Amino acid sequence: MQKQSSSEKGSSGALALSVPADVAEASQRQRIIEAMVASCAEKSYRSTTITDIVGHARISRTTFYKRFEDKRACFDATVDYCIEELRATARAAHAIGDPPAEAVRKATVAFLEALSHRPAVAQLLCADATSVDPTVVERYRGLLLPALEGLWDAADMPKPSELDPRLAFGRAQLLIFNQIAAGGSDQLPDLLPEIVYLAVAPFAGHEAAVEQARLAEGKPRRRRAQG
């Protein structure tokens, strides 16, 4: 875990929804985070410098260091922010009464569509996060998997599958990474059947996952093939 300066503690990931008392501070954080996303998309995390970030954010170096200890702390906050945004989108996509397999499918569809609309975020989470260091991926796996598991616990479903959710997560991440590298994030919805399968299979088994994957294939705006 990265240390955070005390001034950041109350801002809960700089979410626009939870504006802290110091509005200027929150908006600075927000701008810095957006700048990090933009710069990583432009030239990768490795090549990004503090100068790039402050340039994009139009703030001073001093302001940057008031908000973040260093480039890495800023990157971690950016990852958390992006994940929280995606989680909120996925949560909003399914209704309380949905059967879990259906809720997972809807959440996955919403998640991928949100990613496809934010190419820079997709690039950051799939390419940069994996190259920075393995704990980053561990960190957001820790944010996303419990959310997915929670959908099944709610329905008190026994675990009928031996498939490993951690591996499913790794597979999904790799597929998304490759799809972005191959054709850009607007082609992410092509992956829906596979990703939905991976999201359902470890919890409800192969048969249920195939069924949801087939249902998902009818959903996306872009399709691999008709039918």
Q: What is the binding site for other proteins (CB under 8 A)?
A: 44, 46, 127, 130-131, 134, 161-164, 167, 170-175, 177-178, 181-182, 193-194, 197-198, 201, 205-207, 210, 213, 224
How far is the C-alpha of 122 from the C-alpha of 140, rounded, in Å? Answer: 13
Nearer to other proteins, 50 or 59 (CB): 50
Find the shortest distance in angstroms from Cβ 45 to other proteins.
Answer: 8
Find the shortest distance in angstroms from Cβ 199 to other proteins.
Answer: 12
Find the shortest distance in angstroms from Cβ 129 to other proteins.
Answer: 11
User: Which candidate, 210, 223, 186, places its Cα nearest to that of 112?
Assistant: 186
Nearer to other proteins, 22 or 207 (CB): 207
Structure tokens at 17: 């929804």
Dihedral class, residue 49 (left if φ above 0, else alpha if ψ from -120 to 50, else beta): beta
Nearer to other proteins, 33 or 126 (CB): 126
How far is the C-alpha of 45 from the C-alpha of 131, rounded, in Å? Answer: 9
How far is the C-alpha of 224 from the C-alpha of 173, rounded, in Å? Answer: 20
Nearer to other proteins, 29 or 105 (CB): 105
Find the shortest distance in angstroms from Cβ 35 to other proteins.
Answer: 21
Structure tokens at 208: 């249920």
Nearer to other proteins, 130 or 187 (CB): 130
Find the shortest distance in angstroms from Cβ 67 to other proteins.
Answer: 26
